[in-house]
Amino acid sequence: MGKVYLLLVIHNHQPCDNFGWVIEDAFQKAYKPFIDVLEKYPDIKVALHYSGSLFEWIDKNRPQFFDRIKKLICNGQIELLSGGFYEPILSLLSENDRISQIQQMNDFIKERFLIVPKGLWLTERVWDPDLVTTFNKTGLSYTMLDNNHFKKAGINAEIIKDYYVLNTGFKVFCGNKTLRYIMPFGKVSDVKNYFSKARDNDKDTCLVFSDDGEKFGFWPKTYDWVYKKKWLESFFDMLSENKDLIETITPEAIFTKKEGVFLKNIPAASYSEMEQWANGHFENFLLKYPEVERMHKRMGLLSLRICDLEKKHGKDPGNIVKAKKQLFMSQTGCVYWHGVFGGFYLNHLREGFYRHIINAEKYLDELEPKSNISEYGQKEDLVIRLDNNDLSLHIKPGRRGEIVEIDCKDKSLNIVNTVSRKVEPYHDKIKKRSFLDIVSLKKQIQDRKFFNIYDLLGSKKKCLAKVLAYDKSDKSAFIDKFIFGKYSIKDMIHAKERNLQELSVELYEVVNINKDGKRSVEMHKTETVQHADVSFDIKKEIGLEQSNSFYVLYELKNIGVRKAKGFFATEVNLSIYNEKMCCEQQFKNVNNLFLNDQWTSSQISIKISEPVDIWIIPVYTVNESEEGLDRTYQYSRMLFMKKVCLVKEEKNNLKFEIKVT
C-alpha cells in the first residue's frame, strides 16, 4: 500500500494598510491559535508563509511570536516560504521590482529566522511563465499552483498526485481543490476518507493542501469550529494515528522521497474562482475597472522614476531607499483586484495606495525636483499633471475634461479616491436571497456535495438591495454634463441617467498649457445635445493658484440656431466623509460650499462665481467582507447645476475656486 505524503501549506497575510484592530483580531483568532495547536504535535510538519506586511506587524506588536516560530523551525516542523515582501501580484511588476520584493523577503527570513528559503508563495496563484526567470535569479526553486493551472497545461487527472518539474528545473506543486473546500469545513472523517480514496496501492502519493490561514479561525463561524470544538486538534490527532499511511512532510523533504514528473511549461493562469471574478486572465481587472488601471499606471511611473534616479545617484541615498519602500507598499496586491474580501472596494486600502505613492514622490522631489508640468498616457488617455508645493492635479482632457486625481501633498492624500459601481456576481445573493447557513453547509459536506466555500458568507447588513446601483462610467471631478428635461435627486441616487447627458465621445482639444506662465490647461470642444437640438462651444480652463488652491473656469457659447434653455452641470466626486453627508442634501442658489472631512480633518471650500443649485449624495458599494456582504461608504457625489438660457452666439461664464486645507 502506497503512502500519502501530505504537504500542509498555510498562507497568512494582512495588507500593510489594513486597520490595526483587524490584524490583531486575525492574530488572536487564527495565527496564534494555529501555532498553539501545532506546538502540541511535534510530528506534524507544515510550510508557512507570512507576508512581509504581516511580519512587520508581528515584529512591532507581538515580537515574542517569532521565538515560537524559530523553535518550530529548529525542531523541523516548519519550513518558511518566501514571496514578494508586500504581497504583490508579481506579474504586474517590472522585473527589477519583482526581484527586489522577493530579495527583501529572503533577507528578512534569513536575518530573523537564520534560514534561506527555497520556495515561495505566489500571490493569488497568479502565474505567468516569465516569472520563472525571476525565481531563478532570487534562488527560489518551487511554488504551489492550483488544479486550474495544470488543467490548462493539459493534465486532466481528477486528483493530481505528483509534483512537476518544468523544463527550467523549477518545481511546482498542485494544491488539491477538494482539500481546499473540505478543510476545515468537513468532518475529519471526511478528510480521512478522501485520503483513502486518493491513495495508490502501488506507489507513494503527494497531496497538497495550500490555502489561507485565516480560514482556520478568522473566517465567519470558523473560530468556534476549528478551536473551541477542536477541529484542528482532531485533524492532527487523525494524522498522528495514521502516520504510517499519511505522513506530513515539508516541500524540501519531499524532493528526497519522491521524484517529480516532467512538464514542459504551464500557461498563464490563476485559480478558478479568481478567473471567474476576473472574467479570465487576472489583468482583466485593469480593463474592467479604470480606477485600478489608473493606480497601476501611477505605480509603474513611480517605479520608472526610481529606476532612473538610481542610475544617476546610486541605490544608497536615503531618500531613494525610503521612496522604494513606499513604492513596494503601493504594490500590495489587494488594491488591484477584489473577490471575496473587498480588495480595491475598501476605501482605506486605496487611500493607503495613494499615501504611499505621494510619500515616495515627496522623498524623490527632495533629491531631484520634477517638472511642475508633465504628461503621461496618449490620446484619449492623456493626463496632464500640474504641480505646486501643496497640490498635484492630474487632468484628463479626454471627452469629459475631468480631474482624475487631486493630491494634497502635506496630508499625502488623494481626495478623488473613487471607484465606480459595477455589477458583481455576488450581488445575486442579495437579489435572490440565496445565502448558505452553517446547517446547510454541514449537510452538504455530509452528502459529499462540496459547495463553493464563499457561499458561506451571508449578509452583514439588512436592506442592501436598496443600496445596489450601477454607474455607466468611472467617477472623478468636474465631469461636464447637460440637463435638458426632467431629472431628480432620486434619479441621481439610483444612478439613472435620463436627461442627464455626459459629453460626447469627441475629445477635448488641448489649446494651451502653461499660458502666460500660469500652471494651467486650456481645453476646447463643441457639443451637441441631441435630444434638445442645441449646440455649444465649450472652453474649459483648469489651473493651479498659489499654495493650496486651484480653479476651474468655463465659457459656454450657444452656437446653434435654437435658444438653449436648460442646465449646464458638472459632477464632482470627492472621497470625503462626515455624518451630514450620509444622506442626500439639496441647496438652491448658493455661491459657496464648505466641506469638512472627518476622516482626515481636511477642509475643502468651493467658491462659485454665480449662484448654482447643488445636490449631494453619499455613494456606497455593496461588496463582500470577512463577515459577509456589506455596504462600504466610498465618496460624496456632488452635482453643481447652472441654469442656462442662451440665444444664438450668447456666452455664459462660470468659475469654481477650490481651496484644500
- Which range, of 100-104, 202-206, 210-214, 322-326, averages the lowest pLDDT? 202-206
Total Cβ atoms within 10 A of residue 588:
9
Domains of the chain: 4-278 (3.20.110.20), 469-660 (2.70.98.10)
Task: Give the confidence band of 456 by pLDDT, cuts at 50, 70, 90.
Answer: low
CB within 8 A of 515, min separation 6: which ones? 522
Task: Give the confidence band of 620 by pLDDT, cuts at 50, 70, 90.
Answer: very high
Q: In terms of pLDDT, which residue wins out, 452 or 68?
A: 68
CA angle (352 as vertex; 350, 355 as ends), nearest 5: 115
Contact criterion met (CB below 8 Å) for 287 and 331: no
State the average pLDDT over residues 463-489: 91
Strands 373-376 and 261-262: unpaired
Residue 434 has pLDDT above 60, yes or no: no
User: How far is it, in rounded angstroms, from Cα 415 to Cα 354?
Assistant: 10
Return the pLDDT at 444.
53
Residue 167 has pLDDT above 60, yes or no: yes
Q: Element (H or E) spanning 373, and its range? A: strand 373-376
User: What are the cell numbers at 561?
Assistant: 440656431
Task: Give the confidence band of 152 by pLDDT, cuts at 50, 70, 90.
Answer: very high
Return the pLDDT at 569.
95
Residue bearing cell 469654481: 656
State the average pLDDT over residues 473-478: 94
Return the pLDDT at 440.
55
Task: Give the confidence band of 89 by pLDDT, cuts at 50, 70, 90.
Answer: very high
Mean pLDDT of the chain: 91
Q: Which phi-psi region, left, alpha or beta, contains residue 326 (left: φ > 0; alpha: ψ -120 to 50)?
A: alpha
The one-letter code for the residue type at 433 is R
Return the pLDDT at 450.
45
Residue 528 has pLDDT above 80, yes or no: yes
Task: Give the confidence band of 220 by pLDDT, cuts at 50, 70, 90.
Answer: confident
State the average pLDDT over residues 381-389: 95
Task: Give the confidence band of 448 by pLDDT, cuts at 50, 70, 90.
Answer: very low
Return the pLDDT at 449.
46
Provide the total of helices (H) and of strands (E) in the chain, helices listed first: 20, 26
- Residue 652 pairs in a beta bridge with 556
Nearest one of 344, 328, 253 to 293, comparing CA atoms: 344
Preceding peptide of 184 cis, ω within 30°: yes
pLDDT per position as a tens digit, 571-603? 999 999 888 778 899 999 999 999 999 988 899
State the average pLDDT over residues 248-267: 94
Return the pLDDT at 2.
83
State the average pLDDT over residues 308-316: 90
Residue 454 has pLDDT above 70, yes or no: no
3-state percent breakdown (helix, strand, coil) of the chain, nearest 5? 35, 30, 35
Nearest one of 354, 351, 374 to 362, comparing CA atoms: 354
State the average pLDDT over residues 257-277: 91
pLDDT per position as a tens digit, 345-363? 999 999 999 999 999 999 9
Total Cβ atoms within 10 A of residue 431:
10
Residue 194 has pLDDT above 70, yes or no: yes
- Percentage of residues in the chain with pLDDT exceeding 70? 94
194-201 own/partner pairs: CB under 8 Å, 24+ apart: 195/4, 195/6, 195/245, 195/246, 197/159, 198/4, 198/159, 198/161, 199/1, 199/2, 199/3, 199/4, 199/245, 200/2, 200/161, 201/1, 201/2
Return the pLDDT at 622.
87
